[in-house]
Amino acid sequence: MVFDVSLFLKCEHWNRSARVYIQQPRLAKASQWLFVFMMKKITTIETQKKNPGRVNIHLDGQYAFGLSRIVAAWLSVGQSLSDEKIAVLQMDDAREVAMQKALFFLGYRARSTQEVRANLKKHEIPEAVIEYTLQRLQETNLLNDHEFAKAWLENRNTFRPRSKRMIEMELRYKGLDPDLVQDVISENVDEETLAGQAARKYLRKVQDLPWLEFRQKLSAHLGRRGFTYEVCAPVVRLIWNEIHSTGSRTNINDNDEEVL
């Protein structure tokens, strides 16, 4: 049976924690309908002992739930809350908690979207709240996978140069979209240059070795960084010739032969 609510005129009557809507007497029939929306009164707001950034809310003399201070800022003792308002407060609090955890996680270094999602899941944040938080972070550019990929690549190129293939694997492991990874790498990676940088960082460990041992050890090092033989071989020869161009040792040609 469907009832037209417009036939009812609102008459408010407060009885402690209940707001009652009663059908106007002139429209009443044998079966009157009563609409009751329970309201709960805030009796205490107290700071949590272990977390000063949160407060405990007591309703009708009993502990009800905790809230972040920023969410509870407008609440006061004596205020009445409906079930619907309580649900809104708790959702706002869940979003605030998720945002603070995400910002703390981002405070150490740039992160990918997937890294932040995994971290929030670890803290048992509801899926809907996680997606809301990620969207807010992306809207404010605090979370940007393209910028993250570029920053990761720049850091690797500067401090630990490695091959295009290895960088791609790292970024894929961070949960980045394969197409995005390809775009960033194709724009910013020159493997021969990176191999040369990696070789020079390792050079002090092998620079005094004879050619064959020099080639073996330096090539192995570059191979561990993901560079192929086709990239390693000319770079190793180039580095050898650079450090021995004015010394007593011979240079090496493209066929790995010693020349005067």
Domain boundaries, the chain: 5-91, 145-189, 195-259
**CA separation, residue 218 to residues 15, 85, 189, 214, 224 (Å):** 85, 67, 21, 6, 10
Closest by CA position to 193, among listed 239, 147, 254: 239
What dihedral do alpha carbons 55, 59, 62, 64 form, nearest 10°? -50
Tokens 């609510």 found at: 5
Tell me which CATH code domain 5-91 carries: 1.10.10
Task: Compute the C-alpha angle 98/99/101, nearest 5°.
Answer: 65
CB 177 within 8 A of CB 112: no
Distance CA 157, CA 154 (A): 5
Distance CA 213, CA 164 (A): 26
Q: What is the pLDDT of residue 189?
A: 80
Alpha helices in 107-208 (DSSP H): 113-122, 127-139, 145-159, 164-173, 178-188, 191-202
Output the tens digit of pLDDT for each of the chain's 260 residues: 343 444 333 433 333 344 444 444 444 444 444 434 578 999 999 999 999 999 999 999 999 999 999 999 999 999 999 999 999 999 999 999 999 999 999 998 999 999 999 999 999 999 999 999 999 999 999 999 999 999 999 998 889 999 999 999 999 999 999 999 999 998 878 889 999 999 999 999 999 999 999 999 999 999 999 999 999 999 999 999 888 776 555 555 555 555 54
How far is 54 from 72, CA to CA, in rounded Å? 9
